[in-house]
A and B are shown apart, each in its own frame.
Chain A
Protein backbone atom coordinates (compact mmCIF):
# COMPACT_ATOMS: atom_id res chain seq x y z
CA UNK A 1 0.00 0.00 0.00
CA UNK A 2 1.49 3.36 -1.02
CA UNK A 3 0.56 5.25 2.12
CA UNK A 4 3.33 7.75 2.90
CA UNK A 5 1.84 8.97 6.16
CA UNK A 6 2.30 7.07 9.35
CA UNK A 7 -0.96 6.52 11.18
CA UNK A 8 0.30 8.07 14.39
CA UNK A 9 1.47 11.25 12.62
CA UNK A 10 -1.84 11.50 10.82
CA UNK A 11 -3.90 11.19 14.00
CA UNK A 12 -1.59 13.73 15.64
CA UNK A 13 -2.20 16.17 12.81
CA UNK A 14 -5.95 15.74 12.97
CA UNK A 15 -6.14 16.43 16.68
CA UNK A 16 -3.59 19.24 16.50
CA UNK A 17 -5.79 20.98 13.99
CA UNK A 18 -8.77 20.65 16.27
CA UNK A 19 -10.92 19.55 13.36
CA UNK A 20 -13.16 17.59 15.66
CA UNK A 21 -14.26 20.73 17.47
CA UNK A 22 -15.96 22.49 14.55
CA UNK A 23 -17.78 19.49 13.17
CA UNK A 24 -19.02 16.57 15.17
CA UNK A 25 -18.44 14.08 12.39
CA UNK A 26 -14.70 14.77 12.40
CA UNK A 27 -14.51 13.07 15.79
CA UNK A 28 -14.53 9.72 14.02
CA UNK A 29 -10.82 10.20 13.36
CA UNK A 30 -10.15 8.29 16.55
CA UNK A 31 -8.62 5.33 14.69
CA UNK A 32 -9.45 2.93 17.48
CA UNK A 33 -9.33 -0.02 15.10
CA UNK A 34 -6.32 -1.87 13.77
CA UNK A 35 -6.28 -1.17 10.06
CA UNK A 36 -4.12 -4.15 9.21
CA UNK A 37 -6.84 -6.57 10.32
CA UNK A 38 -8.92 -7.82 7.35
CA UNK A 39 -12.15 -7.22 9.27
CA UNK A 40 -11.32 -3.51 9.37
CA UNK A 41 -10.62 -3.23 5.66
CA UNK A 42 -13.48 -1.46 3.90
CA UNK A 43 -14.08 -2.94 0.44
CA UNK A 44 -15.40 -0.42 -2.03
CA UNK A 45 -16.52 -0.26 -5.64
CA UNK A 46 -16.33 2.89 -7.76
CA UNK A 47 -19.18 3.59 -10.16
CA UNK A 48 -18.34 6.18 -12.81
CA UNK A 49 -14.59 6.47 -13.30
CA UNK A 50 -14.46 9.63 -15.43
CA UNK A 51 -12.44 12.74 -14.48
CA UNK A 52 -13.61 12.93 -10.88
CA UNK A 53 -13.86 9.16 -10.45
CA UNK A 54 -10.19 8.87 -11.44
CA UNK A 55 -9.17 11.50 -8.84
CA UNK A 56 -11.18 9.70 -6.16
CA UNK A 57 -9.69 6.33 -7.14
CA UNK A 58 -6.13 7.67 -6.89
CA UNK A 59 -6.88 9.24 -3.49
CA UNK A 60 -8.45 6.06 -2.14
CA UNK A 61 -5.46 4.03 -3.28
CA UNK A 62 -3.33 6.02 -0.80
CA UNK A 63 -5.49 4.94 2.13
CA UNK A 64 -4.61 1.98 4.24
CA UNK A 65 -7.84 0.34 5.27
CA UNK A 66 -9.85 0.92 2.09
CA UNK A 67 -9.59 -1.51 -0.80
CA UNK A 68 -11.03 -0.93 -4.26
CA UNK A 69 -12.34 -4.33 -5.27
CA UNK A 70 -14.69 -3.25 -8.08
CA UNK A 71 -14.98 -0.57 -10.73
CA UNK A 72 -17.82 0.22 -13.11
CA UNK A 73 -18.13 2.50 -16.11
CA UNK A 74 -20.35 2.29 -19.18
CA UNK A 75 -17.97 4.27 -21.42
CA UNK A 76 -15.38 1.97 -22.92
CA UNK A 77 -12.41 4.37 -22.74
CA UNK A 78 -12.95 5.07 -19.03
CA UNK A 79 -13.83 1.43 -18.30
CA UNK A 80 -10.44 0.32 -19.68
CA UNK A 81 -8.63 3.12 -17.90
CA UNK A 82 -10.24 2.09 -14.58
CA UNK A 83 -8.99 -1.46 -15.07
CA UNK A 84 -5.46 -0.27 -15.73
CA UNK A 85 -5.53 2.20 -12.80
CA UNK A 86 -6.40 -0.66 -10.47
CA UNK A 87 -3.76 -2.87 -12.15
CA UNK A 88 -6.38 -5.53 -12.84
CA UNK A 89 -6.90 -6.08 -9.11
CA UNK A 90 -10.52 -4.91 -9.16
CA UNK A 91 -13.43 -6.64 -10.84
CA UNK A 92 -14.72 -4.50 -13.71
CA UNK A 93 -18.35 -3.94 -14.68
CA UNK A 94 -20.28 -1.93 -17.24
CA UNK A 95 -23.62 -2.17 -15.40
CA UNK A 96 -23.85 -0.89 -11.81
CA UNK A 97 -26.57 -3.45 -10.94
CA UNK A 98 -24.14 -6.28 -11.64
CA UNK A 99 -21.53 -4.58 -9.45
CA UNK A 100 -24.06 -4.31 -6.61
CA UNK A 101 -24.42 -8.10 -6.63
CA UNK A 102 -20.78 -8.43 -5.52
CA UNK A 103 -21.11 -9.85 -2.00
CA UNK A 104 -17.66 -8.68 -0.86
CA UNK A 105 -18.54 -5.01 -1.09
CA UNK A 106 -19.09 -2.81 1.96
CA UNK A 107 -19.68 0.44 0.10
CA UNK A 108 -19.78 2.16 -3.26
CA UNK A 109 -18.44 5.48 -4.45
CA UNK A 110 -20.56 7.15 -7.12
CA UNK A 111 -18.99 9.69 -9.50
CA UNK A 112 -21.37 9.49 -12.44
CA UNK A 113 -23.08 12.51 -14.05
CA UNK A 114 -25.69 14.19 -11.84
CA UNK A 115 -28.84 12.60 -13.33
CA UNK A 116 -27.47 9.14 -12.46
CA UNK A 117 -26.76 9.88 -8.78
CA UNK A 118 -30.20 9.21 -7.31
CA UNK A 119 -31.16 5.87 -8.85
CA UNK A 120 -27.69 4.33 -8.45
CA UNK A 121 -27.47 5.56 -4.82
CA UNK A 122 -30.89 4.15 -3.98
CA UNK A 123 -30.08 0.80 -5.67
CA UNK A 124 -26.85 0.60 -3.65
CA UNK A 125 -28.48 1.51 -0.32
CA UNK A 126 -31.25 -1.01 -0.97
CA UNK A 127 -28.55 -3.62 -1.62
CA UNK A 128 -27.29 -2.99 1.91
CA UNK A 129 -24.25 -0.93 0.94
CA UNK A 130 -22.97 2.38 2.31
CA UNK A 131 -22.69 5.12 -0.28
CA UNK A 132 -20.34 7.98 -0.96
CA UNK A 133 -21.92 10.04 -3.76
CA UNK A 134 -20.29 13.01 -5.42
CA UNK A 135 -21.95 16.41 -5.11
CA UNK A 136 -24.50 17.61 -6.02
CA UNK A 137 -26.74 15.08 -4.40
CA UNK A 138 -29.35 14.96 -7.17
CA UNK A 139 -31.04 16.94 -9.93
CA UNK A 140 -34.47 17.26 -8.27
CA UNK A 141 -35.74 17.80 -4.71
CA UNK A 142 -37.78 14.57 -5.03
CA UNK A 143 -34.62 12.61 -5.83
CA UNK A 144 -32.77 14.21 -2.88
CA UNK A 145 -35.63 13.20 -0.57
CA UNK A 146 -35.69 9.67 -1.97
CA UNK A 147 -31.94 9.32 -1.39
CA UNK A 148 -32.15 10.46 2.24
CA UNK A 149 -35.17 8.20 2.86
CA UNK A 150 -33.33 5.21 1.39
CA UNK A 151 -30.31 5.87 3.63
CA UNK A 152 -32.43 6.18 6.77
CA UNK A 153 -34.67 3.22 5.87
CA UNK A 154 -31.68 0.94 5.29
CA UNK A 155 -29.70 2.45 8.17
CA UNK A 156 -26.73 3.01 5.88
CA UNK A 157 -24.27 5.88 5.54
CA UNK A 158 -24.83 8.31 2.70
CA UNK A 159 -21.98 10.81 2.42
CA UNK A 160 -21.97 13.56 -0.21
CA UNK A 161 -18.67 14.73 -1.72
CA UNK A 162 -18.25 18.20 -0.25
CA UNK A 163 -14.53 18.12 0.45
CA UNK A 164 -14.43 21.62 1.97
CA UNK A 165 -16.02 20.04 5.04
CA UNK A 166 -12.69 18.26 5.51
CA UNK A 167 -10.43 21.20 4.79
CA UNK A 168 -8.52 22.47 7.88
CA UNK A 169 -8.44 25.97 6.39
CA UNK A 170 -12.25 26.05 6.29
CA UNK A 171 -12.45 24.67 9.81
CA UNK A 172 -10.18 27.43 11.04
CA UNK A 173 -12.42 30.01 9.34
CA UNK A 174 -15.56 28.56 10.92
CA UNK A 175 -13.84 28.63 14.31
CA UNK A 176 -12.93 32.31 13.82
CA UNK A 177 -16.53 33.10 12.85
CA UNK A 178 -17.85 31.25 15.90
CA UNK A 179 -15.35 33.15 18.09
CA UNK A 180 -16.84 36.40 16.74
CA UNK A 181 -13.56 37.50 15.15
CA UNK A 182 -15.66 38.97 12.35
CA UNK A 183 -18.17 40.49 14.76
CA UNK A 184 -21.78 40.10 13.60
CA UNK A 185 -22.06 38.49 10.19
CA UNK A 186 -23.62 40.83 7.66
CA UNK A 187 -23.23 39.24 4.22
CA UNK A 188 -21.54 36.53 2.19
CA UNK A 189 -20.49 37.22 -1.35
CA UNK A 190 -19.31 34.23 -3.35
CA UNK A 191 -18.35 33.78 -6.96
CA UNK A 192 -16.86 31.26 -9.32
CA UNK A 193 -15.53 32.63 -12.59
CA UNK A 194 -13.80 30.81 -15.43
CA UNK A 195 -13.02 31.67 -19.00
CA UNK A 196 -13.51 28.57 -21.09
CA UNK A 197 -16.40 26.86 -22.80
CA UNK A 198 -16.59 24.03 -20.23
CA UNK A 199 -16.58 21.46 -23.01
CA UNK A 200 -14.59 18.26 -23.17
CA UNK A 201 -13.35 16.95 -26.55
CA UNK A 202 -15.81 14.50 -28.10
CA UNK A 203 -14.38 11.63 -30.19
CA UNK A 204 -17.60 11.24 -32.24
CA UNK A 205 -20.77 13.40 -32.41
CA UNK A 206 -23.12 10.82 -30.87
CA UNK A 207 -21.08 11.03 -27.64
CA UNK A 208 -21.63 14.79 -27.28
CA UNK A 209 -24.36 14.57 -24.62
CA UNK A 210 -22.69 11.67 -22.79
CA UNK A 211 -19.40 13.53 -22.43
CA UNK A 212 -20.63 17.12 -22.19
CA UNK A 213 -23.60 16.29 -19.96
CA UNK A 214 -22.97 19.45 -17.86
CA UNK A 215 -24.33 21.60 -20.70
CA UNK A 216 -27.73 19.90 -21.07
CA UNK A 217 -30.94 20.14 -19.02
CA UNK A 218 -31.61 16.42 -19.13
CA UNK A 219 -28.52 15.62 -17.08
CA UNK A 220 -27.55 18.60 -14.96
CA UNK A 221 -28.38 22.08 -13.69
CA UNK A 222 -25.07 23.40 -15.03
CA UNK A 223 -23.21 26.04 -13.02
CA UNK A 224 -25.60 25.61 -10.07
CA UNK A 225 -25.06 21.92 -9.38
CA UNK A 226 -21.52 21.65 -10.72
CA UNK A 227 -19.88 24.71 -9.13
CA UNK A 228 -22.29 26.72 -6.93
CA UNK A 229 -23.20 23.72 -4.78
CA UNK A 230 -19.74 23.90 -3.14
CA UNK A 231 -20.12 27.54 -2.13
CA UNK A 232 -23.75 27.06 -1.15
CA UNK A 233 -22.59 24.37 1.26
CA UNK A 234 -19.97 26.74 2.69
CA UNK A 235 -22.51 29.58 3.08
CA UNK A 236 -24.91 27.27 4.94
CA UNK A 237 -22.05 26.19 7.18
CA UNK A 238 -21.06 29.80 7.92
CA UNK A 239 -24.62 30.93 8.67
CA UNK A 240 -25.43 27.68 10.48
CA UNK A 241 -28.70 27.48 8.57
CA UNK A 242 -30.21 26.84 5.16
CA UNK A 243 -31.77 29.72 3.20
CA UNK A 244 -35.49 30.45 3.19
CA UNK A 245 -35.80 32.02 -0.25
CA UNK A 246 -33.91 32.73 -3.44
CA UNK A 247 -34.19 34.98 -6.47
CA UNK A 248 -31.95 35.34 -9.48
CA UNK A 249 -31.31 35.62 -13.16
CA UNK A 250 -29.46 33.36 -15.52
CA UNK A 251 -28.85 33.42 -19.23
CA UNK A 252 -26.65 32.24 -22.05
CA UNK A 253 -24.92 35.47 -23.00
CA UNK A 254 -21.63 34.26 -24.41
CA UNK A 255 -21.33 30.55 -25.27
CA UNK A 256 -24.17 30.36 -27.80
CA UNK A 257 -23.03 26.98 -29.08
CA UNK A 258 -26.10 24.82 -28.70
CA UNK A 259 -25.84 24.34 -24.94
CA UNK A 260 -29.07 24.45 -22.94
CA UNK A 261 -27.85 25.52 -19.50
CA UNK A 262 -26.92 29.04 -18.40
CA UNK A 263 -23.36 30.25 -18.91
CA UNK A 264 -23.81 33.03 -16.33
CA UNK A 265 -25.91 33.16 -13.16
CA UNK A 266 -26.59 35.85 -10.53
CA UNK A 267 -28.55 34.98 -7.40
CA UNK A 268 -29.41 36.21 -3.94
CA UNK A 269 -30.24 33.71 -1.17
CA UNK A 270 -32.01 34.97 1.94
CA UNK A 271 -31.32 33.32 5.31
CA UNK A 272 -33.68 33.18 8.33
CA UNK A 273 -32.00 36.07 10.22
CA UNK A 274 -32.14 38.42 7.24
CA UNK A 275 -28.58 37.76 6.07
CA UNK A 276 -27.93 37.20 2.39
CA UNK A 277 -25.63 35.22 0.17
CA UNK A 278 -24.92 37.05 -3.07
CA UNK A 279 -23.66 34.57 -5.63
CA UNK A 280 -22.55 34.74 -9.21
CA UNK A 281 -20.83 32.48 -11.66
CA UNK A 282 -19.74 32.86 -15.26
CA UNK A 283 -17.49 31.15 -17.76
CA UNK A 284 -16.49 34.07 -19.96
CA UNK A 285 -14.12 36.01 -17.66
CA UNK A 286 -11.71 34.64 -15.06
CA UNK A 287 -10.18 37.85 -13.74
CA UNK A 288 -11.66 37.49 -10.25
CA UNK A 289 -11.40 33.67 -10.13
CA UNK A 290 -13.33 32.18 -7.24
CA UNK A 291 -13.85 33.27 -3.66
CA UNK A 292 -16.17 33.17 -0.66
CA UNK A 293 -16.06 36.55 1.07
CA UNK A 294 -17.58 36.45 4.53
CA UNK A 295 -18.27 39.92 5.89
CA UNK A 296 -18.88 40.99 9.46
CA UNK A 297 -18.94 44.38 11.15
CA UNK A 298 -15.44 43.74 12.56
CA UNK A 299 -13.72 41.82 9.79
CA UNK A 300 -13.78 39.95 6.49
CA UNK A 301 -12.63 36.49 5.50
CA UNK A 302 -11.65 35.26 2.06
CA UNK A 303 -12.20 31.58 2.66
CA UNK A 304 -10.70 30.18 -0.54
CA UNK A 305 -7.41 32.06 -0.04
CA UNK A 306 -7.35 31.96 3.76
CA UNK A 307 -7.18 35.76 4.16
CA UNK A 308 -8.45 37.72 7.16
CA UNK A 309 -8.94 41.50 7.07
CA UNK A 310 -9.79 43.67 10.06
CA UNK A 311 -12.36 46.44 9.48
CA UNK A 312 -10.51 48.75 11.88
CA UNK A 313 -6.88 47.63 12.10
CA UNK A 314 -4.90 49.07 15.03
CA UNK A 315 -3.68 52.61 14.22
CA UNK A 316 -0.07 53.13 13.19
CA UNK A 317 2.24 54.65 15.86
CA UNK A 318 1.68 58.41 16.26
CA UNK A 319 5.12 59.32 14.88
CA UNK A 320 4.41 57.46 11.63
CA UNK A 321 1.04 59.19 11.32
CA UNK A 322 2.77 62.54 11.80
CA UNK A 323 5.42 61.79 9.15
CA UNK A 324 2.67 60.59 6.82
CA UNK A 325 0.69 63.80 7.32
CA UNK A 326 3.78 65.99 6.79
CA UNK A 327 4.53 64.04 3.59
CA UNK A 328 0.92 64.50 2.43
CA UNK A 329 1.08 68.22 3.22
CA UNK A 330 4.19 68.63 1.11
CA UNK A 331 3.43 66.40 -1.86
CA UNK A 332 -0.35 66.23 -2.19
CA UNK A 333 -2.09 68.88 -4.22
CA UNK A 334 -5.33 70.24 -2.85
CA UNK A 335 -7.83 70.74 -5.66
CA UNK A 336 -9.63 74.06 -5.44
CA UNK A 337 -13.34 73.62 -6.05
CA UNK A 338 -12.79 69.89 -6.61
CA UNK A 339 -15.38 67.14 -6.20
CA UNK A 340 -17.04 67.10 -2.81
CA UNK A 341 -17.40 63.32 -3.14
CA UNK A 342 -14.52 60.89 -2.75
CA UNK A 343 -15.04 57.33 -4.07
CA UNK A 344 -15.10 54.70 -1.34
CA UNK A 345 -12.25 52.67 -2.74
CA UNK A 346 -11.50 49.25 -1.27
CA UNK A 347 -9.74 49.04 2.04
CA UNK A 348 -5.99 48.70 1.47
CA UNK A 349 -5.37 46.81 4.71
CA UNK A 350 -3.02 43.88 4.22
CA UNK A 351 -4.58 40.48 5.00
CA UNK A 352 -3.43 38.12 7.70
CA UNK A 353 -3.06 34.51 6.56
CA UNK A 354 -5.08 32.64 9.14
CA UNK A 355 -3.98 29.16 8.24
CA UNK A 356 -0.70 27.43 7.46
CA UNK A 357 -0.93 24.18 5.51
CA UNK A 358 0.47 21.37 7.61
CA UNK A 359 3.02 19.16 5.94
CA UNK A 360 2.08 15.49 5.83
CA UNK A 361 -1.65 16.06 6.15
CA UNK A 362 -3.65 14.51 3.31
CA UNK A 363 -5.70 16.64 0.94
CA UNK A 364 -9.38 17.20 1.89
CA UNK A 365 -10.45 14.91 -0.99
CA UNK A 366 -8.52 12.08 0.66
CA UNK A 367 -9.53 13.05 4.21
CA UNK A 368 -13.21 12.66 3.38
CA UNK A 369 -12.61 8.96 2.65
CA UNK A 370 -10.82 8.42 5.96
CA UNK A 371 -13.95 9.75 7.59
CA UNK A 372 -16.24 7.67 5.36
CA UNK A 373 -14.34 4.46 6.17
CA UNK A 374 -14.35 5.22 9.90
CA UNK A 375 -18.08 5.80 9.91
CA UNK A 376 -18.51 2.45 8.19
CA UNK A 377 -16.26 0.71 10.75
CA UNK A 378 -18.21 2.30 13.58
CA UNK A 379 -21.52 1.81 11.75
CA UNK A 380 -22.37 5.40 12.55
CA UNK A 381 -24.63 7.52 10.32
CA UNK A 382 -23.01 10.81 9.41
CA UNK A 383 -26.05 13.07 9.81
CA UNK A 384 -24.11 16.32 9.78
CA UNK A 385 -22.53 15.55 6.42
CA UNK A 386 -25.82 14.34 4.99
CA UNK A 387 -27.45 17.58 6.11
CA UNK A 388 -24.82 19.63 4.29
CA UNK A 389 -25.14 17.51 1.14
CA UNK A 390 -28.93 17.73 1.16
CA UNK A 391 -29.26 21.45 1.94
CA UNK A 392 -26.68 22.59 -0.59
CA UNK A 393 -28.26 20.45 -3.28
CA UNK A 394 -31.72 21.88 -2.52
CA UNK A 395 -30.20 25.39 -2.66
CA UNK A 396 -28.77 24.70 -6.11
CA UNK A 397 -32.05 23.22 -7.35
CA UNK A 398 -34.16 26.09 -5.97
CA UNK A 399 -31.73 28.69 -7.35
CA UNK A 400 -32.07 27.16 -10.79
CA UNK A 401 -35.85 27.10 -10.44
CA UNK A 402 -35.89 30.81 -9.46
CA UNK A 403 -33.90 31.71 -12.56
CA UNK A 404 -36.05 29.56 -14.87
CA UNK A 405 -39.33 30.90 -13.50
CA UNK A 406 -38.12 34.49 -13.06
CA UNK A 407 -39.54 34.75 -9.56
CA UNK A 408 -38.69 34.59 -5.88
CA UNK A 409 -38.81 31.00 -4.70
CA UNK A 410 -39.66 30.35 -1.05
CA UNK A 411 -37.85 27.26 0.16
CA UNK A 412 -40.35 25.31 2.27
CA UNK A 413 -39.43 23.99 5.70
CA UNK A 414 -39.81 20.40 4.55
CA UNK A 415 -36.95 20.97 2.08
CA UNK A 416 -34.49 21.98 4.79
CA UNK A 417 -32.67 19.50 6.98
Chain B
Protein backbone atom coordinates (compact mmCIF):
# COMPACT_ATOMS: atom_id res chain seq x y z
CA UNK B 1 0.00 0.00 0.00
CA UNK B 2 1.25 3.47 -0.85
CA UNK B 3 1.45 6.10 1.87
CA UNK B 4 -0.52 9.24 1.24
CA UNK B 5 1.91 12.12 1.40
CA UNK B 6 0.53 15.62 1.79
CA UNK B 7 2.85 18.08 0.19
CA UNK B 8 3.15 21.65 1.54
CA UNK B 9 1.10 23.04 -1.34
CA UNK B 10 -1.69 20.49 -0.82
CA UNK B 11 -1.74 21.03 2.93
CA UNK B 12 -2.17 24.75 2.43
CA UNK B 13 -5.03 24.13 0.00
CA UNK B 14 -6.79 21.76 2.46
CA UNK B 15 -6.36 24.30 5.26
CA UNK B 16 -7.90 27.03 3.12
CA UNK B 17 -10.84 24.74 2.20
CA UNK B 18 -11.39 23.86 5.87
CA UNK B 19 -11.18 27.52 6.87
CA UNK B 20 -13.78 28.28 4.20
CA UNK B 21 -16.07 25.56 5.71
CA UNK B 22 -15.56 27.05 9.16
CA UNK B 23 -16.48 30.53 7.91
CA UNK B 24 -19.64 29.11 6.27
CA UNK B 25 -20.76 27.38 9.50
CA UNK B 26 -20.01 30.49 11.57
CA UNK B 27 -22.18 32.38 9.08
CA UNK B 28 -24.90 29.76 9.58
CA UNK B 29 -24.60 30.23 13.35
CA UNK B 30 -25.02 34.02 13.04
CA UNK B 31 -27.93 33.56 10.64
CA UNK B 32 -29.66 31.08 13.01
CA UNK B 33 -29.17 33.34 16.05
CA UNK B 34 -30.91 36.15 14.15
CA UNK B 35 -33.64 34.12 12.49
CA UNK B 36 -34.51 31.89 15.52
CA UNK B 37 -34.18 34.84 17.85
CA UNK B 38 -31.81 33.04 20.23
CA UNK B 39 -29.09 34.63 22.36
CA UNK B 40 -25.86 36.20 21.05
CA UNK B 41 -23.58 34.36 23.51
CA UNK B 42 -24.39 31.30 21.35
CA UNK B 43 -21.76 32.76 19.03
CA UNK B 44 -19.10 31.22 21.29
CA UNK B 45 -21.27 28.83 23.35
CA UNK B 46 -22.17 26.92 20.16
CA UNK B 47 -18.55 26.82 18.96
CA UNK B 48 -18.25 23.04 19.56
CA UNK B 49 -21.32 22.49 17.34
CA UNK B 50 -19.98 24.94 14.74
CA UNK B 51 -16.64 23.15 14.78
CA UNK B 52 -18.31 19.75 14.35
CA UNK B 53 -20.52 20.99 11.55
CA UNK B 54 -17.54 22.55 9.76
CA UNK B 55 -15.80 19.15 9.83
CA UNK B 56 -18.92 17.52 8.38
CA UNK B 57 -19.03 20.10 5.56
CA UNK B 58 -15.30 19.73 4.98
CA UNK B 59 -15.73 15.93 4.78
CA UNK B 60 -18.59 16.40 2.31
CA UNK B 61 -16.45 18.73 0.20
CA UNK B 62 -13.75 16.02 0.26
CA UNK B 63 -16.30 13.48 -0.98
CA UNK B 64 -17.40 15.71 -3.85
CA UNK B 65 -13.81 16.42 -4.78
CA UNK B 66 -13.06 12.71 -4.75
CA UNK B 67 -16.00 12.00 -7.10
CA UNK B 68 -14.79 14.82 -9.33
CA UNK B 69 -11.31 13.27 -9.33
CA UNK B 70 -12.72 9.84 -10.31
CA UNK B 71 -14.73 11.34 -13.15
CA UNK B 72 -11.64 13.17 -14.35
CA UNK B 73 -9.64 9.94 -14.26
CA UNK B 74 -12.30 8.16 -16.27
CA UNK B 75 -11.80 10.79 -18.96
CA UNK B 76 -15.25 12.25 -18.76
CA UNK B 77 -15.29 15.87 -19.83
CA UNK B 78 -17.79 18.10 -18.23
CA UNK B 79 -18.69 21.17 -20.17
CA UNK B 80 -19.65 23.21 -17.17
CA UNK B 81 -16.40 22.49 -15.35
CA UNK B 82 -13.59 22.34 -17.91
CA UNK B 83 -10.85 20.03 -16.62
CA UNK B 84 -7.34 21.38 -16.22
CA UNK B 85 -4.70 19.65 -18.28
**Max chain B CB contacts within 10 Å: which of A317, A320, A321?**
A317
CA distance A187 to B70 in the complex (A): 65
Whether B53 pairs with A315 at a CB distance below 8 angstroms is: no
- Looking at A317, A319, A320, A321, the one whose CB has the most chain B CB atoms below 10 A away is A319
Return B40 CB to nearest CB of chain A, in Å. Answer: 10
Question: A322 contacts the other chain (Cβ, under 8 Å)?
Answer: yes
Residue of B35, B38, B46 most packed against chain A (CB within 10 A): B38
Report the nearest B residue to A318, measured CB to CB: B32
A336 sits at the interface (CB 8 A): no
Contact with B along A211-248 (1 / 0, CB 8 A): 00000000000000000000000000000000000000
Q: Is the CB of A323 within 8 A of B53?
A: yes
- Which A residues lie within 8 Å of B36 (CB)? 315, 318, 321-322
Contact residues of B: prevailing secondary structure: helix
Q: Are A317 and B53 in contact (CB under 8 A)?
A: no
B33 contacts partner chain A, Cβ-Cβ < 8 Å: yes
- For B32, the chain A residues whose CB sits under 8 A away are 317-319, 321-322
CA A322 – CA B34 in complex, angstroms?
11
Q: How far is the CB of A318 from chain B (nearest CB, A)?
A: 3
The interface on chain A, measured as residues whose beta carbon lies within 8 A of the other chain's beta carbons, has a size of: 8
Instruction: Tell me if A318 and B53 are in contact (CB < 8 A).
Output: no
With both chains docked as a complex, state the minimum distance between the C-beta of B49 and any C-beta of chain A, in angstroms.
5
Query: Which of the residues B25, B31, B35, B46 comes within 8 Å of A317, measured between beta carbons?
Result: B46
Q: Which of A317, A318, A321, A322 has the most CB of B within 10 A?
A: A318
Instruction: Identify the closest chain A residue to B49 (Cβ).
Output: A319
- Cβ proximity bits A305-331 to B, threshold 8 Å, 1 near / 0 not: 000000000010111111100000000
Q: How far is the CB of B30 from chain A (nearest CB, A)?
A: 9
Q: CA separation between A321 and B42, bound complex, in Å? A: 12
Task: Assess the B38–A315 pair: CB atoms within 8 A.
Answer: yes
- Asked if B49 contacts A322 (CB within 8 A), the reply is no
Question: Is residue B28 contacting chain A, with contact meaning CB distance below 8 A?
Answer: yes
Residues of A near B45 (CB, < 8 A) are 317
Q: What chain B residues lie within 8 Å of A317 (beta carbons)?
A: 32, 38, 42, 45-46, 49
Query: In chain B, residues 7-32, which have Cβ atoms closer than 8 Å to a Cβ of chain A?
Result: 25, 28-29, 31-32
- List residues of chain A with CB within 8 A of the CB of B28: 319, 322
Taking CB atoms, residues of chain B closer than 8 Å to A323 are: 53
- In the bound complex, CA of A323 to CA of B33 (Å): 12
Determine which residue in B28, B33, B36 has the highest number of CB atoms from chain A within 10 A of its CB, and name it.
B36
Nearest opposing residue in chain A for B40, CB measure: A318
Report the separation of the CA atoms of residues A321 and B34 in the bound assembly, to the nearest whole angstrom: 12
Q: In the complex, which residue of chain A has the Cβ closest to the Cβ of B31?
A: A322
A33 CA to B21 CA in the complex, in Å? 72
Min CB distance, A287 to chain B, in Å? 38
A377 to B31, CA, bound (A): 69
Contact with A along B35-79 (1 / 0, CB 8 A): 110100010011001100100000000000000000000000000
Residues of B within 8 A of A319 (CB): 25, 28-29, 32-33, 42, 46, 49-50, 53
Which residues in A have some Cβ–Cβ distance to B below 8 Å?
315, 317-323
If A321-B36, A322-B28 are given as contacts, then 20 extra A-B residue pairs at C-beta distance below 8 Å, sorted by A number, are A315-B36, A315-B38, A317-B32, A317-B38, A317-B45, A317-B49, A318-B29, A318-B32, A318-B35, A318-B36, A318-B38, A318-B46, A319-B25, A319-B29, A319-B33, A319-B49, A319-B53, A320-B46, A322-B31, A322-B36
9 A–B pairs (Cβ distance < 8 Å), ordered by A: A315-B38, A317-B42, A318-B46, A319-B25, A319-B28, A319-B29, A319-B53, A320-B49, A322-B28
The 7 A-B residue pairs with the shortest CB-CB distance in the complex, in nearest-first order: A318-B32, A318-B38, A322-B32, A318-B36, A318-B33, A317-B46, A319-B29
